[in-house]
Amino acid sequence: MPRDRTANVMPPESSSEPQSSPIAVLALAGLLTTAAPHLAQGPDDLRQFDDRASVFEVQVPVNVVTRSGEPVRGLQPEDFQILDEGAAQEITGFRVVDLDLIAPDDRQVIETDYGIPPAARRHFLFLFDLSFSAPTSVGKARAAAQDFVLERMHPTDLAAVAVHTVETGPQLLITFTPDRAQLARAIATLGNPRLLNLTTKDPLGFMIDAPSANPVGSLDIGGVNDDIRAMERDIDAYLRVIGNEMAKYEKSYARGQISSWTGALQGMARILSSVEGRKHVVLFSEGFDGRLLFGRQPDFFDEEMHREQEAIDTGQYGRVDTDNRYGNTQLLGHVNRMLNEFQRANTVIHTVDISGLRADLPEEHRTRVVHRDALHYMANETGGELHEDANDFGAELGDVLASSTVTYLLSFEPTEPGEPGEHHRLRVRARAPRGAQISHRMGYYTPRPFGDLHPLEKRLLASDLIAAAQERDDLKIDVLATAFRAGARAAYVPVIVEVGGGGLVENHDQPLLPIEIYAYVTDEKTQMRDFFSRVVTLNLAGREDAFANTGLKYYGHLELDPGAYLVRVLVRNSVTGNTGVETVKLEVPAFATGEPTLLPPFFEQEPGSWFLVREQPADQYAKTTVYPFTVNGEPYVPSAAPLVQTNPKGINAEICLVGYNLGPGDLTLEATVVGPNGELVTGGEISLRERTVTGIPGLDKLVANFDPTDLPAGDYTLRVAVTDPATQARPANSIPLRVLN
């Protein structure tokens, strides 16, 4: 993020004490797209972030560093002042995110354990320029980029990978994701379809290739095994084709090519403004001829410059290429508009000169110098730097990582938000040590209606919420995910998603209701392991009220190996943008071990209470999979969030308990009810009614009654344990439960 390079320190506005706490002044921008949850670090004196339609709130991340580049800690809300177009604003939210205080545990899912909001997370976009770079240079730059992803990024950082070509412009290969393996795979292949194995295209772009059993180790570039040699040959051929196309264009219209290139990147920058948080674009390129922007610099050995000077001296001005000699102001204007858009999007460009990764011919040395001028200009104007050592740019970016270790996340509600899409300039004052520098944003855009957004903006908004793994409740969503034994290793995991109809139809005035459903699952290292997606269009003509009182119930499935996972589900109205996000933890047992296992208690829903939609089978396996929710051969649909009613007539709720390897003896059941704060609650009884015959070795299905009569109305967690008296094995599982009077 750019820094104020002129006067970072000003004296206090009014103070009779020694000036030990001067004020640093900067301009920065906030952007509102999602709600930000509570952080573990820092005080919680101010209210939580919120961005509902009735509350337009701007989130402003700020980094303050000393002269030596060390982060400044300990600042409080009263140490900051925000000016929106010169008008002071009230700071309504304040958080401190200190990455040094976050020590990720490999056994934990980082997003749910640390709750860092998207606006405070660092976002890296690795952009490989295939238009102004030799194929050999691009190929070698991949190893350095891969090393940065796997070894240097903080576990809470997000990154994306994109390429740019003359014919297609910028292409996002993989969206901002915590999955280091998918990022490394995107860098290794640069999107070459011959090297990718994903059978179903991922609509949000989290997965570019099928997950591997050894996803990181198998991606090393420069190895010696036959598979890697073959991959490198394919990549080289792929880049040569692109390089040949680039060469055809380069000589014929270099200026037009640069203009098109800057226009495409300007559009990309505008779209990036929809992504919350600080973005760092790492551009791998050989650059373009800087003389087209700035003209020729004095060079005694430049023969063309001598010839032009001779023509000027003799009055032969027609022989002088004025653009090459003095620069093209129109082209420079295009570049500046592009860079300004990146600044507005809270995005810094770090340029990496990859021309040094190939052997220079003598005549190429001067070309490298003038191309490097263009790279330096782009980085410098956005607050980044030019990195000349492409083999170790990660070490040079270490200062960026260190300076953004501590982020102060401020928020305010604009007093004059203006029209949708209008840009506001911001200034922030921070009381900081003398000589401190403050990273800043230029401003924020007033949010536009969802329907006005570019399709890629809508995609990035959804992927940002999925990556953050944080709840969003424009829509009420409940999710039930559990694992059934399906084979020697992988489990069949049904995912039932219940979406309240009221939120889906809010502000929706059309009979056709398009609903987007996305479900992704990550393992303990935040690697994406599987996903499903669907766009469901419902015709609600004449049934709007019925749907608003119930909602949509969707049945999909995942296939997973044993382990601990996080299931991330997003549902969105495609017209209004109303969005709900829910995340649930999932444990897939190692069924092959024969250990006793109990699945969550399943409450059968009342018939006709939901609009039901089931997944479309994508392969023969899905078509032949037996529906798992049956009792005595009769199918039922379980509830993701059961509602039970205290009933004076003694009518109890029916539960189906599914277990594996529970033992042949007489089983006993025990129910425990836990309150919302983890306290044990008296009441709620369970009784075994029937142990059914399944005909499948090791599989048990029990039918039980649950009596909630003594429970007060409220939200609880019901935990059920099954005990085998012969072995004292006692597997247990639980489900959220709401009791109604």
Residue pLDDT, tens place only, 596-650: 999 999 999 877 789 999 998 765 455 567 899 999 989 999 999 999 988 766 6
Give the per-residue pLDDT at 652: 81
3-state SS assignment for residue 308: helix
> What are the structure tokens assigned to 204, written together?
């949000």
Give the per-residue pLDDT at 240: 63
Give the per-residue pLDDT at 555: 96
Residue 26 CB partners (closer than 8 Å, separation 6+) = 3, 4, 8, 62, 427, 428, 429, 430, 438, 439, 440
**pLDDT tens digits, residue range 298-330?**
554 556 655 655 655 566 545 545 555 444 677
**For 456-469, what is the mean pLDDT?**
92
Choose among 565, 588, 569, 560: nearest CA to 469: 569
Which range has the top average pLDDT, 63-77, 252-266, 305-319, 607-621?
Answer: 63-77
Residues of the chain above pLDDT 70, percent: 76
Give the per-residue pLDDT at 30: 30
Give the per-residue pLDDT at 275: 92
Give the per-residue pLDDT at 28: 28
447-454: long-range contacts at Cβ-Cβ below 8 A with a sequence spacing of 24 or more? Answer: 447/32, 447/33, 447/56, 447/420, 448/420, 448/421, 449/420, 449/577, 450/575, 450/576, 450/577, 451/575, 451/577, 452/420, 452/421, 453/274, 453/577, 454/270, 454/271
Confidence of residue 253 (pLDDT cuts 50, 70, 90): very low
- Predicted model pTM: 0.82
Confidence of residue 490 (pLDDT cuts 50, 70, 90): confident
> What are the structure tokens assigned to 571, written together?
């549902």
Does the pLDDT of residue 142 top 60, yes or no? yes
Query: ∠609-612-614 over CA atoms, to 5°?
Result: 155
Contact status, residue 288 vs residue 332, Cβ threshold 8 Å: no
Give the per-residue pLDDT at 481: 98
Indicate the burial class of 380 (C-beta count within 10 angstroms; 0-12, 13-18, 19 or more): middle
Confidence of residue 26 (pLDDT cuts 50, 70, 90): very low
Does the pLDDT of residue 243 top 70, yes or no? no
**For 67-79, what is the mean pLDDT?**
93
For the chain, what percentages of helix, strand and coil (3-state, to nearest 5) are there?
30, 30, 40
Residues of the chain above pLDDT 90, percent: 50
Contact status, residue 181 vs residue 527, Cβ threshold 8 Å: yes
Contact status, residue 265 vs residue 156, Cβ threshold 8 Å: no
Confidence of residue 104 (pLDDT cuts 50, 70, 90): low
Residue 618 CB partners (closer than 8 Å, separation 6+) = 200
**pLDDT tens digits, residue range 170-203?**
899 999 999 999 999 999 998 888 878 777 889 9
Give the per-residue pLDDT at 716: 96
Mark out the alpha helices in 383-450 (DSSP H runs). 393-396, 398-403
Q: How far apart are CA 277 and CA 98, in angstroms?
A: 15
Does the pLDDT of residue 225 top 60, yes or no? no
Between the alpha carbon of residue 344 and those of residues 31, 269, 528, the distances in Å are 10, 8, 31
Between the alpha carbon of residue 509 and those of residues 208, 473, 505, 545, the distances in Å are 37, 21, 8, 12
Confidence of residue 395 (pLDDT cuts 50, 70, 90): confident
Give the per-residue pLDDT at 473: 84
Please report how many Cα atoms fall inside a 13 Å half-sphere around the Cα of residue 436, on the Cβ side. 28
Choose among 687, 724, 275, 318: nearest CA to 464: 275
Give the per-residue pLDDT at 559: 94
Give the per-residue pLDDT at 713: 92
Q: How far apart are CA 94 and CA 428, in angstroms?
A: 14
Give the per-residue pLDDT at 631: 93
Q: Among 433-442, 557-566, 652-661, 731-740, where is mean pLDDT lowest?
A: 433-442
**pLDDT tens digits, residue range 492-528?**
999 999 999 999 999 999 999 999 999 999 998 889 9
**For 559-573, what is the mean pLDDT?**
96
Q: Among 110-114, 183-187, 379-383, 467-471, where is mean pLDDT lowest?
A: 110-114
> What are the structure tokens assigned to 326, written together?
């003095």
Domains of the chain: 9-119+402-452 (no CATH), 122-383 (3.40.50), 471-595+605-629 (2.60.40.2550), 642-741 (2.60.40.10)
**For 326-344, what is the mean pLDDT?**
81
